[in-house]
Amino acid sequence: MPEILKVSDKNTSEVIFTRAAQILACGGIIAYPTETFYGLGADATNEKAIQKIFAVKGRDFKNPISLIISRTDDIYPFVENVPYLAQKLMAEFWPGALTIVFKATTFVSTLLTADSGKIGLRVSSHSGAQRIVQKLGRPLTATSANLSGAPECVRAADVVSQLGNKIDAIIDLGNTPGAIGSTIIDVTTTPPIILREGAISRDKIDKCINL
């Protein structure tokens, strides 16, 4: 069974987030809650850890993996440029359930970009996800914590049922909102293209960037 980390009389939130960061820094894989579903986390600068994510999920290498960063300024050195409309979107919707796809630098693993030359980033509005990324000091993979093709998980117990011993730890901070994932928008084109409408509606995005 994976290590289950949850707040208790013995474990403060500080202890939990520190332990999660330790596991990640050593190349481990965790499941953690976000503002949408439970995510599957690895140190996004560790190639071997990224490979484990694909193995755990049974995921095709042709599928890219987005990242969660701690704050807006942390987009560097992962993106080549930040278009004006991307700046507006970040100011309006970060932290939050908006994944913005940028042109990636060569620093980013091609496993994450699926050789597309693009990387999706977001700043999570979930306090637990934020604290883990802050403790790690590096971006965290943000793919859903489930087997490829299976339902996304809103409870830690759901993650255990699907992934079991395939991961090192689950950060159990209760149920996530579920229902719908993050909205994904590609800002490498003019105008930007919404690749997936999710928690943030198309109308809100259109209003923000005046489409």
Mean pLDDT across 75-81: 94
CB atoms within 10 A of CB 168: 18
Q: Strand 118-123 vs strand 98-103: parallel, antiparallel, or unpaired?
A: antiparallel
Length of the chain: 211
What pTM did the predictor assign?
Answer: 0.95
Ordered DSSP codes for 123-145: E---HHHHHHHHHHTS-EE-EES
As a whole number of angstroms, the distance between CA 21 and CA 108 comes to: 20
Give the whole-number percent of the chain exceeding pLDDT 70.
100
At 29, the pLDDT band (50, 70, 90 cuts) reads: very high
Looking at every residue in the chain, the average pLDDT score rounds to 95
Domain boundaries, the chain: 3-209
Which DSSP helix (H) or strand (E) runs through 158? helix 156-163
Give the model confidence (pLDDT) of 133-190 as tens digits: 999 999 999 999 999 989 999 999 999 999 989 999 999 999 999 879 999 999 999 9
As a whole number of angstroms, the distance between CA 89 and CA 189 comes to: 14
- Residue 38 tokens read as 């439970």
At 38, the pLDDT band (50, 70, 90 cuts) reads: very high
For the domain bounded by 3-209, which CATH number is listed?
3.90.870.10
- Residue 126 tokens read as 């979930």
Give the model confidence (pLDDT) of 7-27 as tens digits: 887 789 999 999 999 999 999
Is residue 111 packed enough to be buried (19+ CB in 10 Å), middle (13-18) or exposed (0-12)?
Answer: middle
pLDDT at 210: 84
Give the model confidence (pLDDT) of 92-143 as tens digits: 999 999 999 999 999 999 999 999 999 999 999 999 999 999 999 999 999 9
Q: Which amino acid is at 188?
A: T
pLDDT at 211: 57
> In this structure, what DSSP letter does residue 63 have?
S
